[in-house]
Structure formats: structure tokens, C-alpha cells
């Protein structure tokens, strides 16, 4: 089963650019809408609108509030989410296709959502 967000949630995610190194996704939703489980590789996230959403991965739940114009790092993760605010969500994701160069031997982040 694919966990590619463009496959699992095509009403929300659209591939707007892709080459051998990156894939760029545009995400849109309305208040009250949610996504099914999907995964993201390491990505850069650029918010085009201000929004509030709930992210869930297994037993971990996190609510985030993002301001328009924010740019942040999104470590590789699997989750599903819901727009719990009163404004539409509009985001651009630049997904990295190259594997993580992890020289420290540490495990990937377990944090949900974007990281500072």
C-alpha cells in the first residue's frame, strides 16, 4: 500500500514539480477537512496561508499553528492530519529524494510537524 500523499490524498496534494533530486507538492484544504495516513521524506515546508491543524502519528498527537510565510524543516515522518482552525491551509513542500546523510548514527526525529 502506498503512503505517498499525492496517491493517498489526491484531493489535497498535487505534484507541481519533480526531478531526480526533489519533488514539490502543493497542499490545500478547508477547515474541518482531514487526510488519511501518509508519509513525507525529509522536506522543506513553506506556508502560503496561516492555519491550525492537528497531526497524529500512532499514539502521538500534536496541534500546530502556522503563520503565512513561515519556512521550516519537516523531518521524515508518517502521520495524518485535520484542519482544526477556521482558515484554509495552503502549503508548499519540497521533498528531498536523496537519502539522509547521517554520520552520527542517530535515529531519525520522532517529532511531528515542522521543526525550527
Is 70 within the bounds of a domain? yes
pLDDT in single tens digits along all 116 residues of the chain: 789 999 999 999 999 999 999 999 999 999 999 999 999 999 999 999 999 999 999 999 999 999 999 999 999 999 999 999 999 999 999 999 987 665 555 555 566 666 55
Q: In this structure, is residue 64 part of a structural domain?
A: yes
Q: Is residue 101, in this structure, part of any structural domain at all?
A: no
- Helix, strand, coil percentages, rounded to 5, for the chain: 5, 50, 45
The total domain count for the chain is: 1
Q: Looking at the domain assignment, is residue 114 inside a domain?
A: no
* Long-range Cβ contact pairs of 54-62 (< 8 A, separation 24 or more): 54/81, 54/82, 54/84, 55/79, 55/80, 55/81, 55/112, 55/113, 56/80, 56/81, 56/112, 57/112, 60/110, 60/112, 62/112, 62/113
Decide if 31 is inside a domain: yes
**43: CATH:** 2.60.120.10
pLDDT of residue 49: 98
DSSP 94-106: EEE-SPP--SS-P
**Is 110 contained in some domain?**
no
Domain span including residue 73? 5-96
Residue 56, H or E segment: strand 51-57
Amino acid at each position: 500500500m502506498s503512503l505517498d500523499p499525492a496517491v493517498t490524498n489526491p484531493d489535497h496534494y498535487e505534484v507541481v514539480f519533480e526531478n531526480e533530486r526533489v519533488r514539490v507538492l502543493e497542499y490545500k484544504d478547508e477547515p474541518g477537512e482531514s487526510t488519511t495516513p501518509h508519509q513525507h521524506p525529509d522536506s522543506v515546508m513553506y506556508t502560503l496561508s496561516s492555519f491550525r491543524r492537528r497531526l497524529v502519528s500512532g499514539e502521538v498527537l500534536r496541534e500546530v499553528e502556522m503563520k503565512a510565510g513561515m519556512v521550516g524543516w519537516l523531518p521524515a515522518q508518517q502521520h495524518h492530519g485535520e484542519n482544526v482552525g477556521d482558515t484554509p491551509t495552503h502549503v508548499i513542500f519540497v521533498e528531498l529524494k536523496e537519502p539522509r546523510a547521517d554520520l552520527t548514527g542517530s535515529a531519525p526525529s520522532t517529532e511531528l510537524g515542522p521543526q525550527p
